[in-house]
Protein backbone atom coordinates (compact mmCIF):
# COMPACT_ATOMS: atom_id res chain seq x y z
CA UNK A 1 0.00 0.00 0.00
CA UNK A 2 1.35 3.45 -0.86
CA UNK A 3 0.71 5.31 2.41
CA UNK A 4 -1.25 8.56 2.62
CA UNK A 5 1.28 10.56 4.62
CA UNK A 6 4.10 9.17 6.68
CA UNK A 7 7.05 11.01 8.22
CA UNK A 8 10.41 11.16 6.49
CA UNK A 9 13.11 10.20 9.00
CA UNK A 10 16.43 10.41 7.25
CA UNK A 11 18.57 12.78 9.28
CA UNK A 12 19.92 13.00 12.82
CA UNK A 13 16.73 11.82 14.55
CA UNK A 14 18.21 8.62 16.06
CA UNK A 15 21.43 10.36 17.04
CA UNK A 16 19.66 13.15 18.93
CA UNK A 17 17.17 10.80 20.60
CA UNK A 18 20.08 8.59 21.63
CA UNK A 19 21.74 11.68 23.08
CA UNK A 20 18.65 12.30 25.25
CA UNK A 21 18.65 8.69 26.40
CA UNK A 22 22.35 8.63 27.12
CA UNK A 23 22.36 11.89 29.05
CA UNK A 24 19.04 11.20 30.78
CA UNK A 25 17.49 14.44 29.49
CA UNK A 26 14.30 12.86 28.23
CA UNK A 27 11.66 15.04 29.86
CA UNK A 28 10.50 18.63 29.51
CA UNK A 29 13.71 20.29 30.66
CA UNK A 30 16.46 19.88 28.10
CA UNK A 31 18.27 21.80 25.44
CA UNK A 32 16.47 20.28 22.43
CA UNK A 33 13.19 21.86 23.54
CA UNK A 34 14.70 25.36 23.50
CA UNK A 35 16.57 24.65 20.30
CA UNK A 36 13.46 23.35 18.54
CA UNK A 37 11.31 26.31 19.54
CA UNK A 38 14.03 28.71 18.41
CA UNK A 39 14.35 26.90 15.06
CA UNK A 40 10.61 27.07 14.41
CA UNK A 41 10.31 30.74 15.45
CA UNK A 42 13.31 31.69 13.33
CA UNK A 43 12.05 29.76 10.33
CA UNK A 44 8.60 31.37 10.57
CA UNK A 45 10.07 34.83 11.18
CA UNK A 46 8.50 35.17 14.64
CA UNK A 47 10.33 36.54 17.67
CA UNK A 48 9.29 33.79 20.06
CA UNK A 49 8.39 30.11 19.95
CA UNK A 50 6.97 28.07 22.80
CA UNK A 51 6.92 24.31 22.38
CA UNK A 52 3.94 22.36 23.61
CA UNK A 53 2.83 18.76 23.55
CA UNK A 54 0.60 19.11 20.49
CA UNK A 55 -1.14 21.65 18.31
CA UNK A 56 -4.47 21.26 20.09
CA UNK A 57 -2.86 22.23 23.40
CA UNK A 58 -1.25 25.21 21.67
CA UNK A 59 -4.61 26.40 20.32
CA UNK A 60 -6.14 26.03 23.77
CA UNK A 61 -3.38 28.02 25.47
CA UNK A 62 -3.51 30.70 22.75
CA UNK A 63 -7.13 31.42 23.60
CA UNK A 64 -6.50 31.54 27.34
CA UNK A 65 -3.67 34.01 26.70
CA UNK A 66 -6.06 36.30 24.85
CA UNK A 67 -8.56 36.16 27.69
CA UNK A 68 -11.22 34.20 25.82
CA UNK A 69 -13.91 32.95 28.16
CA UNK A 70 -17.23 31.13 28.17
CA UNK A 71 -18.92 34.48 27.47
CA UNK A 72 -17.21 34.86 24.10
CA UNK A 73 -17.61 33.73 20.53
CA UNK A 74 -14.63 32.61 18.45
CA UNK A 75 -14.91 32.46 14.66
CA UNK A 76 -13.67 29.35 12.83
CA UNK A 77 -14.12 27.88 9.35
CA UNK A 78 -16.71 25.14 8.98
CA UNK A 79 -14.17 22.92 7.20
CA UNK A 80 -11.34 22.10 9.56
CA UNK A 81 -9.98 19.22 11.59
CA UNK A 82 -12.04 18.88 14.77
CA UNK A 83 -9.15 19.98 17.03
CA UNK A 84 -9.78 23.64 16.11
CA UNK A 85 -13.30 23.43 17.45
CA UNK A 86 -12.35 21.29 20.43
CA UNK A 87 -9.80 23.89 21.49
CA UNK A 88 -12.48 26.59 21.38
CA UNK A 89 -14.81 24.43 23.42
CA UNK A 90 -12.12 23.76 26.07
CA UNK A 91 -12.32 27.46 26.98
CA UNK A 92 -16.11 27.25 27.16
CA UNK A 93 -16.40 29.76 24.29
CA UNK A 94 -18.98 29.43 21.53
CA UNK A 95 -17.76 28.87 17.98
CA UNK A 96 -19.29 30.72 15.05
CA UNK A 97 -18.75 28.65 11.94
CA UNK A 98 -18.14 30.33 8.60
CA UNK A 99 -18.68 28.44 5.35
CA UNK A 100 -15.70 28.07 3.04
CA UNK A 101 -14.75 29.44 -0.35
CA UNK A 102 -15.68 26.99 -3.13
CA UNK A 103 -12.31 27.39 -4.86
CA UNK A 104 -9.61 27.51 -2.19
CA UNK A 105 -11.58 25.83 0.67
CA UNK A 106 -10.46 28.44 3.20
CA UNK A 107 -12.87 30.56 5.28
CA UNK A 108 -15.14 32.60 2.94
CA UNK A 109 -14.13 36.18 3.67
CA UNK A 110 -17.25 37.65 2.00
CA UNK A 111 -19.47 35.70 4.38
CA UNK A 112 -17.23 36.69 7.28
CA UNK A 113 -17.47 40.38 6.46
CA UNK A 114 -21.25 40.21 5.86
CA UNK A 115 -21.66 38.54 9.23
CA UNK A 116 -19.89 41.41 10.99
CA UNK A 117 -21.72 44.07 8.98
CA UNK A 118 -25.17 42.65 9.53
CA UNK A 119 -25.15 40.59 12.69
CA UNK A 120 -22.78 42.35 15.09
CA UNK A 121 -22.50 45.75 16.76
CA UNK A 122 -19.54 47.54 18.33
CA UNK A 123 -19.77 48.38 22.02
CA UNK A 124 -17.36 49.83 24.52
CA UNK A 125 -16.49 47.82 27.62
CA UNK A 126 -14.10 49.39 30.17
CA UNK A 127 -12.87 51.80 27.47
CA UNK A 128 -12.14 48.98 25.03
CA UNK A 129 -14.23 48.42 21.92
CA UNK A 130 -15.44 44.95 20.98
CA UNK A 131 -17.88 43.38 18.52
CA UNK A 132 -20.97 41.74 19.97
CA UNK A 133 -23.27 39.29 18.22
CA UNK A 134 -26.70 40.96 18.08
CA UNK A 135 -28.54 37.65 18.50
CA UNK A 136 -26.70 36.14 21.47
CA UNK A 137 -25.38 39.36 23.03
CA UNK A 138 -21.97 37.68 23.41
CA UNK A 139 -18.65 39.29 22.58
CA UNK A 140 -16.96 38.05 19.40
CA UNK A 141 -13.37 38.03 20.54
CA UNK A 142 -11.25 36.29 17.92
CA UNK A 143 -11.03 34.76 14.49
CA UNK A 144 -9.23 31.47 14.15
CA UNK A 145 -8.39 31.11 10.45
CA UNK A 146 -7.19 27.63 9.54
CA UNK A 147 -4.66 27.34 6.75
CA UNK A 148 -6.41 24.28 5.38
CA UNK A 149 -4.00 21.79 3.75
CA UNK A 150 -1.19 24.36 3.97
CA UNK A 151 -3.03 26.77 1.65
CA UNK A 152 -3.55 30.36 2.82
CA UNK A 153 -6.44 32.72 2.04
CA UNK A 154 -6.12 36.47 1.53
CA UNK A 155 -4.54 37.51 4.84
CA UNK A 156 -4.58 41.23 3.97
CA UNK A 157 -8.33 41.16 3.78
CA UNK A 158 -8.62 39.08 6.95
CA UNK A 159 -6.42 41.57 8.82
CA UNK A 160 -8.57 44.48 7.58
CA UNK A 161 -11.71 42.75 8.84
CA UNK A 162 -10.10 41.96 12.18
CA UNK A 163 -9.01 45.58 12.64
CA UNK A 164 -12.36 47.04 11.62
CA UNK A 165 -14.25 44.81 14.05
CA UNK A 166 -11.70 44.78 16.90
CA UNK A 167 -10.85 41.09 16.78
CA UNK A 168 -7.76 39.12 17.65
CA UNK A 169 -6.40 36.56 15.18
CA UNK A 170 -5.14 33.18 16.34
CA UNK A 171 -3.88 31.31 13.31
CA UNK A 172 -4.41 27.59 13.24
CA UNK A 173 -1.23 27.10 11.21
CA UNK A 174 -0.97 23.50 12.30
CA UNK A 175 -0.78 22.32 8.67
CA UNK A 176 1.16 25.26 7.28
CA UNK A 177 4.82 25.12 8.28
CA UNK A 178 6.59 26.33 5.14
CA UNK A 179 3.58 28.21 3.67
CA UNK A 180 3.68 31.94 3.01
CA UNK A 181 1.35 34.69 1.87
CA UNK A 182 3.10 37.62 0.18
CA UNK A 183 6.39 36.26 1.55
CA UNK A 184 5.18 36.35 5.16
CA UNK A 185 5.02 33.03 6.93
CA UNK A 186 1.81 31.37 8.12
CA UNK A 187 1.31 31.87 11.83
CA UNK A 188 2.80 35.37 11.95
CA UNK A 189 -0.15 37.47 10.74
CA UNK A 190 -2.15 37.39 13.94
CA UNK A 191 -1.12 37.80 17.55
CA UNK A 192 -0.51 34.07 17.94
CA UNK A 193 0.06 31.20 15.50
CA UNK A 194 0.22 27.50 16.28
CA UNK A 195 2.02 24.70 14.41
CA UNK A 196 1.51 20.96 14.82
CA UNK A 197 4.04 18.18 14.44
CA UNK A 198 1.86 15.11 14.77
CA UNK A 199 2.56 11.99 12.74
CA UNK A 200 1.12 13.13 9.43
CA UNK A 201 2.33 16.74 9.36
CA UNK A 202 5.03 18.11 7.05
CA UNK A 203 7.56 17.50 9.81
CA UNK A 204 6.81 15.35 12.82
CA UNK A 205 7.94 14.90 16.40
CA UNK A 206 5.51 12.02 16.87
CA UNK A 207 3.31 14.53 18.66
CA UNK A 208 4.10 18.15 19.29
CA UNK A 209 3.37 21.79 18.63
CA UNK A 210 4.91 25.24 18.77
CA UNK A 211 3.13 28.50 19.56
CA UNK A 212 4.69 31.50 17.78
CA UNK A 213 4.24 35.17 18.60
CA UNK A 214 6.05 38.49 18.39
CA UNK A 215 4.71 39.53 21.78
CA UNK A 216 7.20 38.93 24.59
CA UNK A 217 4.59 39.03 27.31
CA UNK A 218 2.44 36.42 25.53
CA UNK A 219 5.47 34.18 24.99
CA UNK A 220 6.41 34.40 28.68
CA UNK A 221 2.87 33.64 29.78
CA UNK A 222 2.61 30.76 27.29
CA UNK A 223 5.76 29.19 28.73
CA UNK A 224 4.46 29.73 32.26
CA UNK A 225 0.98 28.30 31.64
CA UNK A 226 2.25 25.26 29.75
CA UNK A 227 4.49 24.33 32.69
CA UNK A 228 1.94 24.32 35.52
CA UNK A 229 2.29 28.06 36.21
CA UNK A 230 5.14 27.47 38.67
CA UNK A 231 6.63 30.76 39.90
CA UNK A 232 9.84 29.59 41.51
CA UNK A 233 12.48 27.18 40.28
CA UNK A 234 12.87 25.84 43.82
CA UNK A 235 9.52 26.04 45.57
CA UNK A 236 6.23 24.52 44.55
CA UNK A 237 4.40 27.78 44.36
CA UNK A 238 1.99 28.39 41.48
CA UNK A 239 0.06 31.52 40.59
CA UNK A 240 -2.59 30.23 38.19
CA UNK A 241 -4.38 27.11 37.04
CA UNK A 242 -1.67 25.89 34.69
CA UNK A 243 -1.33 23.01 32.30
CA UNK A 244 1.15 20.19 31.83
CA UNK A 245 1.43 20.99 28.13
CA UNK A 246 5.20 21.28 27.60
CA UNK A 247 6.87 19.26 24.84
CA UNK A 248 9.42 16.73 26.11
CA UNK A 249 13.08 16.83 25.15
CA UNK A 250 13.15 13.44 23.46
CA UNK A 251 10.42 14.56 21.03
CA UNK A 252 11.97 17.98 20.53
CA UNK A 253 15.19 16.16 19.60
CA UNK A 254 13.33 14.53 16.72
CA UNK A 255 11.99 17.96 15.78
CA UNK A 256 15.47 19.51 15.64
CA UNK A 257 16.59 16.77 13.26
CA UNK A 258 13.42 17.17 11.17
CA UNK A 259 14.04 20.92 10.89
CA UNK A 260 17.59 20.32 9.71
CA UNK A 261 16.24 18.50 6.66
CA UNK A 262 13.13 20.66 6.24
CA UNK A 263 14.33 22.44 3.07
CA UNK A 264 14.56 19.08 1.27
CA UNK A 265 11.23 17.98 2.72
CA UNK A 266 9.55 21.12 1.40
CA UNK A 267 11.15 20.63 -1.99
CA UNK A 268 9.86 17.03 -2.12
CA UNK A 269 6.33 18.18 -1.25
CA UNK A 270 6.39 20.78 -4.01
CA UNK A 271 7.64 18.21 -6.49
CA UNK A 272 4.81 15.86 -5.47
CA UNK A 273 2.21 18.62 -5.84
CA UNK A 274 3.51 19.72 -9.25
CA UNK A 275 3.62 16.09 -10.43
CA UNK A 276 -0.02 15.47 -9.49
CA UNK A 277 -1.20 18.79 -10.95
CA UNK A 278 0.55 18.08 -14.25
CA UNK A 279 -0.50 14.45 -14.61
CA UNK A 280 -4.04 14.63 -13.22
CA UNK A 281 -5.06 17.76 -15.12
CA UNK A 282 -8.08 16.91 -17.29
CA UNK A 283 -8.44 13.38 -15.87
CA UNK A 284 -12.13 12.54 -15.23
CA UNK A 285 -13.84 15.51 -13.61
CA UNK A 286 -10.95 16.20 -11.20
CA UNK A 287 -10.76 19.77 -9.86
CA UNK A 288 -7.77 21.02 -7.87
CA UNK A 289 -7.80 23.21 -4.80
CA UNK A 290 -7.06 26.75 -6.03
CA UNK A 291 -4.10 28.64 -4.61
CA UNK A 292 -4.88 32.34 -4.03
CA UNK A 293 -2.63 34.96 -5.61
CA UNK A 294 0.29 35.71 -3.30
CA UNK A 295 0.19 32.33 -1.56
CA UNK A 296 3.11 29.94 -1.72
CA UNK A 297 1.77 26.77 -0.05
CA UNK A 298 3.76 23.97 1.56
CA UNK A 299 1.77 21.39 -0.48
CA UNK A 300 1.24 19.29 2.62
CA UNK A 301 -1.51 16.88 1.57
CA UNK A 302 -2.71 16.59 -2.02
CA UNK A 303 -6.49 16.76 -2.09
CA UNK A 304 -8.80 17.20 -5.07
CA UNK A 305 -12.52 17.19 -5.88
CA UNK A 306 -14.47 14.77 -8.04
CA UNK A 307 -18.16 13.91 -8.21
CA UNK A 308 -17.17 10.21 -7.97
CA UNK A 309 -15.29 10.65 -4.68
CA UNK A 310 -16.75 7.67 -2.76
CA UNK A 311 -16.29 5.26 -5.67
CA UNK A 312 -12.73 6.49 -6.26
CA UNK A 313 -11.92 6.23 -2.55
CA UNK A 314 -12.97 2.57 -2.46
CA UNK A 315 -11.16 1.84 -5.70
CA UNK A 316 -7.86 3.40 -4.62
CA UNK A 317 -7.85 1.80 -1.19
CA UNK A 318 -8.62 -1.58 -2.79
CA UNK A 319 -5.77 -1.10 -5.26
CA UNK A 320 -2.85 -0.25 -2.99
CA UNK A 321 -3.24 3.55 -2.92
CA UNK A 322 -4.17 4.74 0.55
CA UNK A 323 -6.68 7.57 0.28
CA UNK A 324 -8.96 9.40 2.66
CA UNK A 325 -12.10 11.53 2.48
CA UNK A 326 -11.94 15.11 3.72
CA UNK A 327 -13.11 16.21 7.20
CA UNK A 328 -16.83 16.12 7.83
CA UNK A 329 -17.91 19.78 8.11
CA UNK A 330 -18.16 20.92 11.72
CA UNK A 331 -21.87 21.86 11.46
CA UNK A 332 -22.66 18.23 10.52
CA UNK A 333 -21.11 16.85 13.72
CA UNK A 334 -23.56 16.31 16.57
CA UNK A 335 -21.55 18.35 19.06
CA UNK A 336 -21.58 21.46 16.88
CA UNK A 337 -24.84 21.21 14.97
CA UNK A 338 -26.46 23.93 17.11
CA UNK A 339 -23.62 26.44 16.76
CA UNK A 340 -24.16 29.52 14.60
CA UNK A 341 -23.28 28.63 11.01
CA UNK A 342 -22.88 31.46 8.51
CA UNK A 343 -23.49 30.20 4.98
CA UNK A 344 -25.35 30.90 1.75
CA UNK A 345 -25.06 27.67 -0.21
CA UNK A 346 -23.41 25.26 2.24
CA UNK A 347 -20.26 24.98 0.12
CA UNK A 348 -18.71 22.94 2.96
CA UNK A 349 -21.13 20.10 2.28
CA UNK A 350 -20.12 19.84 -1.37
CA UNK A 351 -16.40 20.19 -0.58
CA UNK A 352 -16.82 17.32 1.85
CA UNK A 353 -18.91 15.19 -0.52
CA UNK A 354 -16.42 15.54 -3.36
CA UNK A 355 -12.91 15.77 -1.90
CA UNK A 356 -10.33 13.05 -1.55
CA UNK A 357 -6.72 13.10 -0.27
CA UNK A 358 -4.12 10.91 -1.98
CA UNK A 359 -0.58 9.77 -1.03
CA UNK A 360 1.55 12.79 -0.19
CA UNK A 361 4.46 11.67 1.99
CA UNK A 362 7.62 13.75 1.59
CA UNK A 363 9.45 10.46 0.93
CA UNK A 364 7.12 9.29 -1.84
CA UNK A 365 9.12 8.10 -4.85
CA UNK A 366 8.60 9.06 -8.49
CA UNK A 367 7.57 5.44 -9.21
CA UNK A 368 4.96 5.62 -6.45
CA UNK A 369 3.66 8.92 -7.81
CA UNK A 370 3.38 7.32 -11.25
CA UNK A 371 1.51 4.35 -9.76
CA UNK A 372 -0.95 6.68 -7.99
CA UNK A 373 -1.59 8.61 -11.21
CA UNK A 374 -1.95 5.43 -13.31
CA UNK A 375 -4.39 3.92 -10.79
CA UNK A 376 -6.51 7.07 -10.86
CA UNK A 377 -6.45 7.15 -14.68
CA UNK A 378 -7.47 3.48 -14.85
CA UNK A 379 -10.42 4.25 -12.57
CA UNK A 380 -11.69 7.00 -14.87
CA UNK A 381 -10.64 5.65 -18.23
CA UNK A 382 -10.85 1.91 -17.66
Ligand X SMILES: Cc1ncc(COP(=O)(O)O)c(C=O)c1O
Q: Site residues (CB under 6 A) for ligand X? A: 54-56, 80-81, 83-84, 146, 172, 174-175, 196, 198, 209
- Report d(CA 268, CA 164) in Å as an integer: 40
**Which is closer to ligand X, CB of 62 or CB of 256?**
62
- Report d(CA 347, CA 349) in Å as an integer: 5
**Which is closer to ligand X, CB of 41 or CB of 211?**
211
CB 199, min distance to ligand X, A: 8
Given CA atoms 272, 152, 184, 214 in this order, what sign does their dihedral have?
A: negative
CB 158, min distance to ligand X, A: 16
Give the Cβ contact number of residue 199 at 10 Å: 12
Q: Is 95 helix (H, G, I), strand (E, B) or coil?
A: strand
CB 83, min distance to ligand X, A: 3
**Which is closer to ligand X, CB of 130 or CB of 359?**
359
Contact partners, residue 300, CB within 8 Å, separation at least 6: 5, 149, 150, 175, 176, 201, 202, 269, 360
- Provide the CB-side half-sphere exposure for 376 (13 A, CA): 29
CB 364, min distance to ligand X, A: 20
CB 277, min distance to ligand X, A: 22
Give alpha helix (H) positions in the chain.
13-23, 31-44, 55-65, 82-90, 109-119, 155-164, 216-225, 249-260, 262-280, 309-318, 347-354, 366-381
**Which is closer to ligand X, CB of 256 or CB of 373?**
256
End-to-end alpha carbon distance in the chain = 21
- Report d(CA 193, CA 201) in Å as an integer: 16
**Which is closer to ligand X, CB of 352 or CB of 379?**
352
* Beta strands at 324-325 and 180-181: parallel, antiparallel or unpaired: unpaired
**Which is closer to ligand X, CB of 120 or CB of 331?**
331
Q: Please count the helices (runs of H) and the strands (runs of E) in the chain.
A: 12, 17
**Which is closer to ligand X, CB of 35 or CB of 205?**
205
CB 88, min distance to ligand X, A: 11
Output the residue with the shortest Cβ distance to ligand X.
55
User: Residues 321, 358: contact at Cβ < 8 Å?
Assistant: yes
CB 17, min distance to ligand X, A: 19
- Report d(CA 37, CA 252) in Å as an integer: 8
Beta bridge partners of 355: 305
**Which is closer to ligand X, CB of 210 or CB of 316?**
210
CB 217, min distance to ligand X, A: 25
User: Residues 44, 293: contact at Cβ < 8 Å?
Assistant: no
Q: Say how far residue 51 (Cα) sits from the centre of its chain.
A: 15
> Phi, psi (5° rounding) for residue 292?
-60, 155
CB 352, min distance to ligand X, A: 15
CB 179, min distance to ligand X, A: 13
DSSP assigned state of 329: P
**Which is closer to ligand X, CB of 136 or CB of 332?**
332
- Report d(CA 48, CA 224) in Å as an integer: 14
**Which is closer to ligand X, CB of 193 or CB of 359?**
193
Amino acid sequence: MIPLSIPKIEGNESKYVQDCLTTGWISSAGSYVNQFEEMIAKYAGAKYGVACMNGTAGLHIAQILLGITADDHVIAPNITFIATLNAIKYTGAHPILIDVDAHNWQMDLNLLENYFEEQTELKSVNDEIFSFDKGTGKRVRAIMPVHVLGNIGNMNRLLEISQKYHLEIIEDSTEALGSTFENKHAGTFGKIGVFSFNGNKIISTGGGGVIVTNDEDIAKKARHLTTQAKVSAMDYIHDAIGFNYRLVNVLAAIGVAQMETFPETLKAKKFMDAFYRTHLEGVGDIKFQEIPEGTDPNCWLFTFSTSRMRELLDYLNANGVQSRPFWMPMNQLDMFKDEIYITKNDVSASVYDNSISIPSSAGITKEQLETVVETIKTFYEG
